Amino acid sequence: MLQSDTIAAIATYPSNSGIGIIRISGPDAISCCEQIFRSKVPLHEMSTHTISYGFIFDGEEKIDEVLVSLMRSPRSYTMEDVVEIQCHGGIFILQRILSLLFSKGVRPAEAGEFTKRAFLNGRIDLTQAESVMDLISSENEKSRKNSMSQLSGVLSKKLGDLRGKILHEVAYIESALDDPEHISLDGYSEKLSSLLEELSLELDSYIRSADDGMLLKSGIRTVIVGKPNVGKSSLLNMLSEKDRAIVTDIPGTTRDILEEKVRIGDITLHILDTAGIRETTDVVEQIGVSKAEASVEDADLILYVVDSSIPLDDNDVRIQSTLKDHSSHTIILLNKSDLNSVVSEEELRDLGVQVISVSMKDGSGVDDLKQAITTMFFHGDISSNDDLLITNERHKFLLQQAKKSLSLVQDSIALGMTEDFFAGDLMDAYESLGSIIGEAVEDDLVNEIFSKFCMGK
């Protein structure tokens, strides 16, 4: 256990609510709390994982009626002594009790510091620590499941297996170089090469999953574009199931960009509704049109809305040229399918983009749109894909580094280099994967070599 001081923070959302929790962790957690908490059984006599009823006092003044729970080291979140005070959930009360603790020598915790201690004290690894925040901020079932499995150590386990295999090879090479009489390297390169191919494929599947994983975690940046009056704001209202945007039959109703977060099953969309794009002399509208056109650039998904009851015109030509380089992530919505149609799906299909016929008036086609989005981003049914998804940029980067190192070994093998050249790159891969879980490496290598190969006997 690392030596540390005692920290405290409000653990619940700081707004007036029924109950609020203050969490205290560190070697003086019990003694400091005891100075402000009175109950039948003194805090230091309480058994671990029990709750006691009592009062918080400032000198002789009763401050609040509370429940205090105790988790003794090492069986706590941080592995230190942890005390949690459940008090009434008013911001003022919480702050008042926190200040009392500070006056007894406790220090304010930094953001994430409890989890950091859990990591530094070795209860969880880095991926598990990171998944705590992901779990808290998850907005849908898939995201929650993924964070929970990462917290349970699924990713750590997979990385551990990969690292074990790499380390085994390094140890084998080192041993063979040390003891060539007993350990042969004949035909070893071929064997190593096929193993590396296998490992690279596995790394690849994790790296590829990061695109889905990160979209799942942060949501799909979606922009709705089209001419004025085609039904863009109606689409936003339909998807968000509320009257978010003003809808009128006057072209040019929406002038600025409107943002709304929408959930479709397991997917979150961050939708921008934009001003209708057209030639205009109105200065304010022009700014809106420029913003609409610019918003296309950062979007993960573009919904181009067309009014099927009026012919396409120059403004559509202009919009289509803006979307030219984005066809892979654009869906055309042929709206107002409840009216007589003068625009055919065929003429829009020439753009090489999926076209879906919809009506914001009667809701037809909306389910097709939702399915098309799921297919576009998650290759079909997101909920049936229970594989682990990488949801973290840092993990993705380190996985790519590991893969690069393995391909350097493959290059060395192809060039017919001797085995001592392999070990360095293999260790780089091992270290990159280790950095994901936050592990140091040297000790592991030493242990592996000695335990598996009994060098020196």
Ligand X SMILES: Nc1nc2c(ncn2[C@@H]2O[C@H](COP(=O)(O)OP(=O)(O)OP(=O)(O)O)[C@@H](O)[C@H]2O)c(=O)[nH]1
* Site of interaction with ligand X (CB under 6 A): 226, 228-234, 247-249, 251-254, 275-276, 335-336, 338-339, 359-361
Residue 23, Cβ density class (10 Å: 0-12 exposed, 13-18 middle, ≥19 buried): buried
- Judged by CB, which is closer to Mg ion: 274, or 337? 274
**At 19, is the secondary structure helix, strand, or coil?**
strand
Q: Which does 417 bind (CB under 5 to 8 A by kind): Mg ion, ligand X, none?
A: none
Q: Which does 144 bind (CB under 5 to 8 A by kind): ligand X, Mg ion, none?
A: none
The mark string for 403-422 relative to Mg ion (x by CB under 5 A, - otherwise) is: --------------------
Q: Which residue from 343, 300, 350, 290 is spatially nearest to 320, judged by alpha carbons?
A: 350
- Judged by CB, which is closer to ligand X: 230, or 399? 230
- Judged by CB, which is closer to ligand X: 359, or 391? 359
Residues 6+ apart with CB under 8 A from 414: none
- Judged by CB, which is closer to Mg ion: 127, or 274? 274
Which region among 180-188, 225-233, 257-265, 439-447 touches Mg ion (by CB under 5 A)?
225-233
Q: Which does 249 bind (CB under 5 to 8 A by kind): Mg ion, ligand X, none?
A: ligand X
Binding residues among 350-369 for Mg ion as defined by CB under 5 A:
none
Q: Which residue from 382, 404, 394, 391 is spatially nearest to 435, judged by alpha carbons?
A: 394
Q: How far is the CB of 115 from Mg ion (least distance, A)?
A: 44
Rounded to whole angstroms, how far apart are CA atoms 188 and 248? 73
Q: Which does 338 bind (CB under 5 to 8 A by kind): Mg ion, ligand X, none?
A: ligand X
Angstrom CA distances, 101 to 24, 50, 118, stand at 9, 21, 22
Question: Residue 14 — φ and ψ, nearest 5°?
Answer: -75, 80
Q: How far is the CB of 254 from ligand X (least distance, A)?
A: 3
Q: Which residue from 220, 219, 203, 115 is spatially nearest to 388, judged by alpha carbons?
A: 203
Cβ contact 7:14 at 8 Å: no
**At 198, is the secondary structure helix, strand, or coil?**
helix
Q: Does 131 bind Mg ion (CB under 5 A)?
A: no
Which region among 170-178, 253-261, 376-384, 394-402 touches Mg ion (by CB under 5 A)?
253-261
- Judged by CB, which is closer to ligand X: 19, or 246? 246
Question: Residue 366 — φ and ψ, nearest 5°?
Answer: -65, -40
- Judged by CB, which is closer to ligand X: 220, or 247? 247
Q: How far is the CB of 231 from Mg ion (least distance, A)?
A: 8
- Judged by CB, which is closer to ligand X: 129, or 225? 225
> What is the 3-class SS of 417-435, one letter each residue?
CCCHHHHHHHHHHHHHHHH
Binds Mg ion (CB under 5 A): choice among 131, 146, 222, 233: 233
Q: How far is the CB of 236 from Mg ion (least distance, A)?
A: 8
Q: Does 254 bind Mg ion (CB under 5 A)?
A: yes
- Judged by CB, which is closer to ligand X: 249, or 443? 249
Q: Which residue from 163, 123, 335, 96 is spatially nearest to 238, judged by alpha carbons?
A: 335
Q: Which does 26 bind (CB under 5 to 8 A by kind): Mg ion, ligand X, none?
A: none
Angstrom CA distances, 34 to 31, 106, 209, 298, 411, stand at 5, 12, 49, 54, 64
| Four-residue CA torsion sign, 53, 91, 80, 100 | negative
Q: Could you list the residues that contact Mg ion (CB under 5 A)?
A: 232-233, 253-254
